[in-house]
Structure formats: C-alpha cells, structure tokens
C-alpha cells in the first residue's frame, strides 16, 4: 500500500454541520433569536430585518438562506420590486434613509476585511441609526453571516417549490 496516497474517504456527500453538532446549531439559533429580539427592541421592523437577511445572503451567495429569507420578506410585506433591485439598492430611491443606513452597515460588517470601508460606512450609518439600532443591526448581520456559513459549508439543498 502506498502510504503517500491521499486517504480514502468513505463518502463525498455533504456533512450537515447542524446535524453533526446539534448543540452548536441550537446555540446559534438561540443567538439568532436574541439578535432578532434586540432588533425588535431597537424598533426595527420585521420587513427591514428580512431585507437585511436577504442582502447578507446575496453577498455571501447562500442559496439556501436566500430561498428562505426572500419568502419570509415577501410574507412580511416586502415588495418584489425592492427585492429585485436590492443588489443595486444604492442606485434607487426605493429605500428610506434608515434602511439605507442599515444596508450600508450590513455590507460593511459582511465584508469586514476592508477596514477603511468598514470604518467609513459605519460612520455613515451612524448618521441615521441610534446606538441601539447600530448595535442591533450589527448583531443581526453577525448571526446571519454565521447562518450563511453553516448552510454553505453544509451544502444545504434548495428544494423545488411545490405548487
């Protein structure tokens, strides 16, 4: 037997992180619930929360979370038009100053490695967000990024819609 050969893996199927370590998954879900609670306490409505979830998932390319949160956004009153232009939100007048500030912060925290942009965008967001709103949006973004990563690494499938 050639000891330098790559080890053989019994399967190449996906490893669902949430199934392999359910306690860690429950902890992440608990954090997500606390972040949502903080957002609601800060006065952010469910429509904005879902809009941010969609934008984060677009940036990260998480098909599973996009499928889930676009549906949730529509159920919570978001329009198809605003969802359609969300990747180009800066080029429209369809979003309020507060929504634009939250989207700015969302992108800065999601793309966290660009220090200068994060500081500049964070500063811009503070002009329209209270400290409580800024913190709540940041927690939403942090947790949604974690959910995206779990789904991407796990390769959670998007199932065809019934109907």
User: pLDDT by residue (tens digit) across 30-64?
Assistant: 999 999 999 999 999 999 999 999 999 999 999 99
Largest CA distance in the chain: 66
How many CB atoms neighbour CB 120 within 10 A?
13
Q: Where are the alpha helices (DSSP H) in 45-114?
A: 46-60, 63-75, 80-85, 97-110
- The per-residue pLDDT of the chain, averaged, comes to 92
Q: Tell me the pLDDT band of 2, cut-offs 50, 70 and 90.
A: very low
pLDDT of residue 97: 96
The reported pTM is 0.90
Name the CA radius of gyration of the chain, rounded.
18
Q: Name the residue ranges covered by the structural domains of the chain.
A: 45-154
Q: Which CATH architecture has domain 45-154?
A: Up-down Bundle (1.20)
């Amino acid at each position: 037997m050639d000891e330098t050969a790559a080890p053989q893996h019994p399967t190449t199927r996906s490893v669902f992180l949430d199934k392999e370590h359910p306690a860690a998954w429950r902890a992440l879900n608990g954090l997500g619930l606390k972040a949502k609670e903080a957002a609601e306490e800060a006065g952010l409505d469910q429509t904005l929360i879902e809009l941010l979830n969609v934008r984060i998932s677009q940036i990260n390319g998480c098909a599973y979370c996009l499928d889930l949160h676009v549906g949730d956004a529509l159920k919570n009153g978001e329009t198809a038009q605003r969802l359609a232009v969300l990747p180009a939100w800066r080029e429209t007048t369809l979003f309020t100053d507060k929504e634009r500030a939250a989207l700015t912060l969302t992108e800065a925290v999601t793309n966290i490695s660009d220090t200068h942009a994060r500081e500049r965008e964070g500063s811009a967001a503070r002009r329209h967000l209270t400290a409580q709103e800024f913190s709540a949006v940041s927690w939403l973004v942090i947790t949604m990024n974690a959910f995206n990563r779990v789904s991407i690494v796990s390769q959670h499938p998007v199932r065809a819609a019934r109907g």
